Amino acid sequence: MVRFDEYNTLIRVCRRLFIRNVHFRDGMPWDDYFKTESKALIVASHGPIIGPFLWVMALFPRIVDEGYGHLTYSAISHPLIRNIPVFARMVGYEKRGGRRLRTDDYIALFESGKLNILSVAPEGEYSLYGNGLDIQPFRSPRSLEIALRANCRIVLMVACGFERWQRNVSIGSGRRKRLTKAIGLRIPFVNKLDEQALEAAHQLSVSGMFGRIHDIYIASELYEPELTAADLAGDRATRDEQLWVEANRMRQQMIRMVDALKAEAHGGAGPRCETR
């Protein structure tokens, strides 16, 4: 497990290079999110495909400044991350015995006290055809099962400004499939819903460090699930259906959060935020 303050100096240097201001929505109850004796799942908007790097730069220094640098964290992320050694460690990518950690592994880490915070951006590879801001469909609801069974509080976080590091290019379906396969992004195109979403998008999102981002706005809310661990069915198929219902409800709350942040950011006065 990695502590939030383990790469503090490096992260702050990167932040000064790439981000001018980070504005946090007023009223973010950090003590409720990161109590030492508690456990939390952070469910974040993905933004561009490079979004996790921006989240590390924008969020981690604030967590350290609030006095929670000693907490340990891990992240559920794409296997491609493992090919970037320092970044893989920085974002909390974990593996065991040559494989990624599974649901039961994370639950055991929470229950043993070795893990305090788990983060996930459930849009995953779907961010490849998003606009870098709006919430795309979720790839999996499995992180919800971890939170429910490990009795974690769930914190939703969304950001505006990440989209500055994204460009959308028009590309045909066949060429898009070959390109994503070539760079190792194993999107399951055999899934009909994935194919329909890609065809509707008519584009592929390209991420890059397109200059310094002047302003990033971050909002957060606690999420109260209707589903409980006791409600979870024993068989996988029924349990997945339950989790998807809850995940879609959570996604709707994140969509409302993004819409509110966009409306305030474009309204002239800007969101009611504190700058760090």
What is the residue extent of each domain of the chain? 2-165+211-275
SS3 for the chain is CEECCCCHHHHHHHHHHHEEEEEEECCCCHHHHCCCCCCEEEEECCCCCCHHHHHHHHHHHHHHHHHHCCCEEEEECCHHHHHCHHHHHHCCECEECCEECCHHHHHHHHHHCCCCEEEECCCHHHHHHCCCCCCCCCCCCHHHHHHHHCCCEEEEEEEECHHHHEEEECCCHHHHHHHHHHCCCCCCCCCHHHHHHHHHHCCEEEECCCCCEEEEEEEEEEECCCCCHHHCCCCHHHHHHHHHHHHHHHHHHHHHHHHHHHHHHCCCCCCCEEEC
Confidence class of residue 91 from pLDDT cuts 50, 70 and 90?
A: confident
- Reported pTM: 0.86
Cβ-Cβ contacts under 8 Å for 49 (sequence gap 6 or more): 125, 127, 128, 166, 205, 207
pLDDT digits 0-9 by tens, 252-273? 999 999 999 988 776 644 455 5
pLDDT band at 24 (very low <50, low <70, confident <90, very high): very high
Segment 114-171, tens digit of pLDDT: 999 999 999 988 888 788 899 988 988 999 999 999 999 999 999 999 999 888 776 6
Residues 6 or more apart whose CB falls under 8 angstroms from that of 164 comprise 132, 210, 211, 213
The answer to whether residue 197 scores a pLDDT higher than 80 is no
Task: Write the CATH number of the domain with boundaries 2-165+211-275.
Answer: 3.40.1130
What digits encode the pLDDT tens for the residues 40-82?
Answer: 999 999 998 889 899 999 999 999 999 999 999 999 987 777 6
pLDDT given at position 203: 66
Task: Find the range with the poorest average confidence among 83-87, 147-151, 198-202, 248-252.
Answer: 198-202
- C-alpha distances (whole Å) from 9 to each of 21, 66, 128 are 17, 16, 30
- Please, are residues 119 and 110 in contact by the beta-carbon 8 Å criterion? no
Q: What is the spatial distance between Cα 138 and Cα 165, in angstroms, rounded to a whole number?
A: 21
**pLDDT recorded at residue 207:** 72
Please report, rounded to a whole number, the percentage of residues in the chain having pLDDT higher than 90: 53
pLDDT at residue 194, rounded to an integer: 55
Answer yes or no: are the C-beta atoms of 272 and 26 closer than 8 Å: yes
Q: Residue 78, exposed/middle/buried by CB under 10 A (0-12, 13-18, 19+)? A: middle
Average pLDDT, the chain: 84
| Per-residue pLDDT at 190 | 36
Report, in angstroms and rounded to the nearest whole number, the Rg of the chain calculated over CA atoms: 18
pLDDT at 82: 67
Lowest mean pLDDT of 7-21, 28-42, 192-206, 230-244, name the range.
192-206
